[in-house]
């Protein structure tokens, strides 16, 4: 089917949508390179006349911003960046690993039952605040609260429904006969899935892994309620850039937000061709 021409009304709506969507990004980037004197200027300064990287330097040198007469921040963002990378990468790995085998089990051995998939998906039907409270109680009793192990565990639990459903849609598209042919040749069921199913869905694995990574990287609620000082992530660190002497350190917050957006933007571009298909949960068949 040939593409429909872009009408003037559609073009205007597209421009408006782009402006509304991209303006916050533009404002964050501009704020990140503003000196402290421009943060609360009235009228607002759209593009700084004297851009600076002091906000980015302050992330890793808390006293760098003192050259503008602003009190230094309480701590650097190094630990938060490390915490986000560690928690996001490890939890994404385990979520994909468990979700892959769950997806294969649902696709190949569930016998058409829809109860189990819905039970798995029900884990995402509750608001994060409602789920976080029981986890705080459980983790406190088991002494894993305020640890990366506990944070990774709750990240895996929160993203497992997504990874299972998305990977199931890719496994459903594979003919069973390919795996059965491998088993006829003498391979076990497990080895048939490892040598045939996994390589054939590697595109879906990559797309799902990036999607889960985005969820983990930007998660705030669980990281906030499960961290008390020993661990931290970028979203939690963003909320800490409020001081009694300088108020909200908008420029430093914006600088950290820019750093946090970079992997999300790259991951978004990488999965855009797979995301819509994966989120249909296999409802559309070819």
How many CA atoms does the CB half-sphere of 95 hold within 13 Å?
33
Q: What residues does 69 pair with on adjacent strands? A: none
Q: Residue 268 and residue 39: Cα distance in Å, rounded?
A: 30
What pTM value is reported for the model?
A: 0.82
206 close to 163: Cβ distance less than 8 angstroms: no
Contacts of 86 (CB under 8 A, 6+ apart): 148
pLDDT of residue 250: 85
pLDDT of residue 38: 87
pLDDT 10s digits, 5-63: 778 888 899 999 999 999 999 999 999 999 888 888 888 889 888 889 988 988 888 88
Q: Which residue has the tokens 């309480």?
A: 74
Report which DSSP code applies to 94. Answer: H
Q: Which residue has the tokens 């404002």?
A: 27
pLDDT of residue 286: 43
Q: Residue 161 and residue 212: Cα distance in Å, rounded?
A: 10
- 21, 92, 156 from 215: Cα distances, Å: 19, 9, 11
Contacts of 67 (CB under 8 A, 6+ apart): 54
Q: What residues does 248 pair with on adjacent strands? A: 242
> Per residue of the chain (286 residues), what is the pLDDT tens digit?
456 777 888 889 999 999 999 999 999 999 999 988 888 888 888 988 888 998 898 888 888 888 777 766 767 888 899 999 999 999 999 999 999 989 888 888 876 567 777 777 777 777 877 888 888 888 889 888 889 999 999 999 989 988 998 898 888 888 888 888 888 878 888 888 888 888 888 888 888 898 899 999 989 888 888 888 888 899 888 887 765 445 678 888 899 999 999 888 887 777 766 655 544 444 444 4
pLDDT of residue 247: 60
pLDDT of residue 154: 92
pLDDT of residue 244: 41
Triad 268, 273, 279: Cα angle to 5°:
85
**Coil, helix or strand at residue 185:** coil
100 close to 167: Cβ distance less than 8 angstroms: yes
pLDDT 10s digits, 132-149: 888 888 888 988 888 999
pLDDT of residue 285: 44
Task: Set out the domains of the chain in order of their start, with CATH numbers.
Answer: 1-76+241-269 (no CATH), 79-234 (1.10.3720.10)
Triad 7, 12, 17: Cα angle to 5°:
125
Q: 247-248 and 242-243 as β-strands: parallel, antiparallel, unpaired?
A: antiparallel
CA-based nearest residue to 176, from 119, 273, 98, 111: 111
């Amino acid at each position: 089917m040939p593409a429909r021409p872009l009408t003037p009304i559609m073009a205007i709506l597209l421009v408006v949508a782009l402006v509304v969507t991209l303006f916050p990004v533009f404002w964050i980037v501009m704020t990140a390179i503003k000196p402290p004197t421009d943060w609360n200027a009235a009228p607002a300064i759209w593009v700084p006349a004297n851009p600076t990287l002091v906000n980015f330097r302050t992330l890793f040198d808390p006293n760098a911003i003192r050259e503008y007469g602003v009190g230094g921040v309480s701590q650097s963002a190094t630990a938060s960046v490390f915490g986000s990378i560690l928690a996001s990468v490890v939890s994404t790995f385990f979520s994909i690993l468990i979700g892959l085998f769950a997806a294969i089990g649902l696709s190949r051995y569930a016998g058409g039952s829809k109860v189990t998939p819905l039970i798995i998906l029900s884990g995402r039907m509750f608001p994060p605040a409602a789920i976080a409270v029981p986890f705080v109680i459980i983790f406190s009793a088991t002494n894993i609260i305020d640890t990366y192990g506990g944070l990774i565990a709750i990240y895996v639990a929160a993203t497992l429904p997504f990874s299972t459903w998305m990977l199931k849609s890719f496994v459903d598209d594979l003919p069973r006969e390919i795996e059965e042919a491998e088993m006829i040749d003498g391979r076990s069921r497990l080895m048939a899935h490892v040598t045939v199913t996994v390589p054939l869905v590697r595109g879906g694995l990559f797309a799902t892994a990036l999607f889960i990574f985005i969820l983990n990287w930007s998660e705030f609620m669980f990281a906030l309620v499960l961290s008390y000082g020993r661990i931290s992530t970028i979203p939690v660190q963003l909320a800490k850039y409020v001081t009694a002497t300088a108020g909200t350190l908008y420029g430093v917050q914006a600088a950290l937000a820019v750093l946090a957006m970079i992997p999300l933007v790259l991951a978004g571009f990488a999965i855009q061709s797979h995301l819509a298909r994966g989120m249909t949960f296999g409802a559309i068949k070819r």
